[in-house]
Amino acid sequence: MDQSLEELRVTALAQIAGVGDEASLEAVRVQYLGRAGKISAASEAMKSLPKEDKPRIGKLLNEVRGAVSGALDAAKAALLAKADQAAFAGVDGSLPGTGLPQGSLHPLTQLQERAIQIFRRMGFALADGPDIETEFHCFDALNTPADHPARNEQDTFYFGDGRLLRTHTSSVQVRTMEKVAPPVRIIAPGAAYRRDEIDATHLAQFTQMEGLYVDENVSVADLKGTLEFFFRELLGKDAQFRFRPHFFPFTEPSYEVDIKTSALGSADRWLEIAGCGMVDPAVFEAINTRRGDRAFDPEKVTGFAFGFGLDRLAMILSRVPDIRYFTDNDQRFLAQF
Ligand code: DAH
């Protein structure tokens, strides 16, 4: 048996050496190592050997099996390497790669993210509401009566069922107070819509950020401190502010905020940047009626609200001369941010 095993080794290795493709190699493997293969047969034959021969023959058999299986592995690796070489023939590995273009966040999104981060540090949570709103959430609850010019069909996009595209994110104030009780401290960034004539500084859709803070003893000082801190963090410590008395239906008193800051190129002139004020008790009462409780009792809680547009800020900060670039989706524009 020793001799037949030696012969088996020699033929197997010769066969393997002569194989030129993977399929034939697999056939050879089955022929020797398969369940009905020659090596299995040899190990079967071993059972009938005299006891004293078994250890020696067994050892030899193991050697032959190891040699054949090693040669098969080596031959397979060699075939794969050859296939790789063929696949890459003619490819110059020293040429520079083409690289994949990397996307980036839209300048408006970048600004919005920065703004959110600053308000988060002051404990404001993110709130959300639908772009398609009811008149109640956009106007009535915000103390804006039916004859208010903001509700004019010429100024707003109405749907046949009376709903409309929200003209400001202030509707999220209402949505939030319907659901939660004081203390409320939220910001709500999002789209707002108006029937504006479209030009370099106006779009029918723009982006706002709303804020609302309701608790016991919230004062105008809190409002001023919060907004001044926010805009200084966003635009630079040198910013100066002016709170000008103004009118909004949903706040009393109301202010417009002007800012002077080098970051906006307005170090020597005032730039109007936000609207704000103390939540009008009429708004709290509209919410209470809707909720059916007194969670926003104006005798117990006060609040401030504010809203500002992000588009003009982003335009100044990113030196974008025309607001329409923000929505054109022109790759040459977007790739710059
Ligand atoms: N909603 C106003 C607008 O669209 C902005 C605004 C002013 C929001 C005063 C407020 C506020 O929350 O208190 O022009």
**Hey, what are 223's tokens?**
């409002």
Cβ(336)–Cβ(319) below 8 Å? no
Dihedral sign from CA coordinates of 52, 53, 58, 63: positive
Distance 229 CA to ligand 1 centre (A): 19
Instruction: Answer yes or no: is pLDDT of 6 > 90.
Output: no
For residue 251 and ligand 1, the question of a CB distance below 6 A is answered with yes
Atom 8 of ligand 1, residue of closest alpha carbon = 307
CA of 94 to the centre of ligand 1 (A): 60
How far apart are the C-alpha atoms of 27 and 10, rounded to whole Å? 17
- Helical ranges in 105-144 per DSSP H: 107-121, 135-138
DSSP letter at 333 equals: H
Query: In the chain, what are the domain boundaries?
Result: 2-85, 107-334
Question: Looking at the chain, how many residues does it have?
Answer: 337
Give per-residue pLDDT as tens, 13-38.
Answer: 889 988 888 899 899 899 999 888 88
Determine the pLDDT at residue 286: 98
- 170 CB within 6 A, ligand 1: yes
Contacts for 148 with CB less than 8 Å, ≥ 6 apart: 139, 249
117-153 tens-digit pLDDT? 999 999 999 999 999 999 999 999 999 998 988 788 7
168 lines ligand 1 (CB under 6 A): yes
Task: Please report which helix (H) or strand (E) contains residue 235, including its range.
Answer: helix 220-235
Neighbours of 6 (CB within 10 A): 12
* Confidence (pLDDT) at 294: 97
DSSP string, 41-80: HHHHHHTTS-GGGHHHHHHHHHHHHHHHHHHHHHHHHHHH
Distance CA 279, CA 281 (A): 6
Environment class of residue 299 by beta-carbon count within 10 Å: exposed (0-12), middle (13-18) or buried (19+)?
A: exposed
- Ligand 1, closest atom to CA 308? 5
Q: Establish whether residue 273 lines the binding site of ligand 1, counting it when its CB lies within 6 angstroms of any ligand atom.
A: no
Q: How much distance in Å is there from the Cα of 307 to the middle of ligand 1? A: 4
* DSSP sequence for 301-323: -EEEEEEEESHHHHHHHTT-S-T
Indicate the pTM of the whole model: 0.73
| Burial environment of residue 159 by CB neighbours within 10 A (0 to 12, 13 to 18, 19 or more) | exposed
Out of 250, 254, 256, give the residue to mutate to test ligand 1, the one with the largest number of ligand atoms within 8 Å of its CB.
250
pLDDT tens profile 238-280: 999 999 999 999 999 999 999 999 999 888 999 999 999 999 9
Its CATH class, for the domain covering 107-334, is alpha beta
CB-based contact 131:193 (threshold 8 Å):
yes
Q: How confident is the model at residue 171 (pLDDT cuts 50, 70, 90)?
A: very high
Q: How far is the CA of 254 from the centre of ligand 1 (A)?
A: 9
